[in-house]
Amino acid sequence: MEDIKRLLIVDDEETLTFSLYQTFINVPVECEVLTASSGEEALARLQEGHFDVVITDIAMPGLNGIDLLSMIKSRTPETKVILITAYGSDEREELAYQKGAEKYIEKPFDLHEIRDLVVNLLS
């Protein structure tokens, strides 16, 4: 039997986290969806187990998304990381890809687009 895929959503914006959670618990791929409201909470979750995909916001109080991406890539390089941000800039996008982000998406984004992307990565 194939392992259940695991997805982690990290954002201090509660409504967006809730919407993403509702979306991914209903995708046609068997996956476990967990959420974290800060970079530090995400790190704790990552220490407890492996994740296939992490969607993380960049600007969060405390540990930010870019630093979280670096930490994930140094521990489990195979984990795909999608960065979402309300504070877009070309420099940030370049930095995100340099650090190994799978995709850099600016808010507000199309829910279907991010859903299809994640389903594709999990399949």
Binding site for other proteins (CB under 8 A): 12-16, 18-20, 22-23, 37-38, 59-62, 84, 86-87, 106-112
Q: Provide, rounded to whole angstroms, the least separation between the CB of residue 60 and other proteins.
A: 8
DSSP string, 11-24: -S-HHHHHHHHHHH
Least distance in angstroms from the C-beta of 107 to other proteins: 4
User: Is the CB of 23 or the CB of 76 nearer to other proteins?
Assistant: 23
Which is nearer to other proteins, 12 or 32 (by Cβ)? Answer: 12
CB of 18 to other proteins, least distance (A): 7
DSSP string, 69-96: HHHHHHH-TTSEEEEEESS--HHHHHHH
Q: Which helix (H) or strand (E) holds 38?
A: none
Closer residue to other proteins (CB): 5 or 92: 92
Torsion of CA 20, 121, 46, 36, to 10 degrees: -10
